[in-house]
Amino acid sequence: MRKHLLIFALFAVSGTALTAGYGSNKPEFKISIRAHETEIPAGHPVELEITKTNISSHTLCVSRANGYTYNAWRSGTSVPETEEGRRLHQRPGPMIDCNLPPHQSAIDTAAVNDYRDMSQPGTYTVQLSEGAVTSNTVTVTVTPR
């Protein structure tokens, strides 16, 4: 009986510790993206500049570009993930720096077509997310080679 009580007590304390400080739904950061180029030949990298800004009053950790969820749509239809994109769900991106001060930004670059299939010519809308925080959307046109 004591063993079960101890496990329950640890679970209850852990649950409280995990939610402490997260009582509000106010995000601690924001993400904005910008396409390096808005017209890209098929097969070339579709590079984004990703800016993560700490809007909290305390220091945050920043993940690498592969710590985001990449979403892309062509003519309003979601495009499939690449093999690398599927792997992201199996292993979250590592933290690269746990020293992003309040009201400061970290900037990274990523090729969104590493994570989403953007090999077909067309107009794509792209958005990133990390947890419940989503970025703005950008539009890029992939042209025939």
CB 45 within 8 A of CB 82: no
pLDDT digits (tens, 9 = 90+) for 42-83: 999 999 999 999 999 999 988 776 678 999 999 999 999 999
Say if 99 falls within a structural domain.
Answer: yes
Say if 13 falls within a structural domain.
Answer: no
CA distance 115 to 86: 8
Q: How many separate domains does the chain show?
A: 1
Structural domain that includes position 139: 25-143
Comparing 10-14, 18-22, 123-127, the range with the smallest average pLDDT is: 10-14
Q: State the DSSP string of 20-34.
A: TT--S---SEEEEEE
Say if 3 falls within a structural domain.
Answer: no
pLDDT of amino acid 99: 87
CATH number of the CATH domain containing 57: 2.60.40.2970
Question: Minimal CA–CA distance to 142: which of 32, 47, 31?
Answer: 47
84: tokens are 């690398």
